[in-house]
Amino acid sequence: MQQRATKQVTALPQHVAIIMDGNGRWAAQRGLSRSEGHRAGVDAFERICEHAADLGIAHLTFYAFSTENWARPQGEVDALMALFRRQLSEAKRRRAENEQKRWRIRYIGDLRPGGLLPADILALIDEMQTESAMQNKTVVNIAINYGGQQEILHAAKRLAQACAAGERDATTLTEQDIEQHLHTAGQPPPDLIIRPSGEQRLSNFLLWQSAYAEFWFSDILWPDFSTADFDRALADYAARSRRFGGV
């Protein structure tokens, strides 16, 4: 924890995480289906991702589908899976472009084979992650079938197994041990978490990692979220005083 207290704080966040909320309401306001709202959400994702990477933000995390989103109507879940499939296939076609941008694409969440995500999506994810693994300018994390509580539970189980096998001593476990077993292992925690659409909650997103994150909320619905809105969030962030529990 000492490391966090003395962390170097710069005006530009190293890691920005975004809860892409408000697609459904955006669609309803226009008499469109919720799926069309999610499609517009993908355009916003691409716009903000591009802009943030151009600004030099090294880590981005987008909340695309939570472990709780499976409870939505089957039609909406299917439409979201179709959207992920399409987005992954398009990204595959644009491989040269991604290489030029030097983006490393990572998917975080429960990606275990035989789990809830369809096998073809898992295969596309695997391909995308392998192809971009050597890139190092911007890491783009897409959280899919992701739950913060489940992620911490998974880390705890792994550590408990290591202790039971005699590989670790429970009395010497540290916060770093938990961090090494999270999906975001090796990446800095988010400095700034943005949630549009008027809601002010974390919804099981990056629970461990957000311990010292700054939050920025706005009423704008995600499909309408502009690069100017993103810049406003950055300007507010730059004016904040981060003390990490110190004075």
Residue 41 in the binding site for ligand FPP (CB under 6 A): yes
Residue 42 in the binding site for ligand FPP (CB under 6 A): yes
Decide if 222 contacts 49 (C-beta within 8 A).
no
Residue 237 in the binding site for ligand FPP (CB under 6 A): no
Segment interacting with ligand FPP (CB under 6 A) among 79-87, 109-117, 151-159, 176-184: 79-87
Active site residue 21: yes
Distance CA 38, CA 215 (A): 23
Nearer to ligand FPP (CB atom), residue 62 or residue 216? 62
Candidates 13, 22, 148, 196: give the one binding ligand FPP (CB under 6 A).
22
Candidates 142, 194, 213, 233: give the one binding ligand FPP (CB under 6 A).
142
The helix (H) or strand (E) run that includes residue 161 is helix 148-164
CA angle in degrees (0–180, nearest 5) for 6-148-73: 150
Q: By Cβ distance, which residue is nearest to ligand FPP?
A: 24
**DSSP character string of 6-74:** T----SS-SEEEEE---HHHHHHHTT--HHHHHHHHHHHHHHHHHHHHHHT--EEEEEEEETTGGGS-H
Residue 24 in the binding site for ligand FPP (CB under 6 A): yes
Active site residue 229: no
**217 class by beta-carbon count within 10 Å (0-12 exposed, 13-18 middle, 19+ buried):** middle
Segment interacting with ligand FPP (CB under 6 A) among 3-11, 21-29, 145-153, 165-173: 21-29
- Of 231, 220, 240, 189, the closest CA to residue 48 belongs to 231
Residue 60 in the binding site for ligand FPP (CB under 6 A): no
Site string for ligand FPP, 183-222 (x = CB under 6 A): --------------x-------------------------
Q: Which residue has the tokens 């969440």?
A: 109
Residues that bind ligand FPP (CB under 6 A): 20-25, 38, 41-42, 45, 62, 64, 69, 83-84, 87, 142, 197
Active site residues per annotation: 21, 69
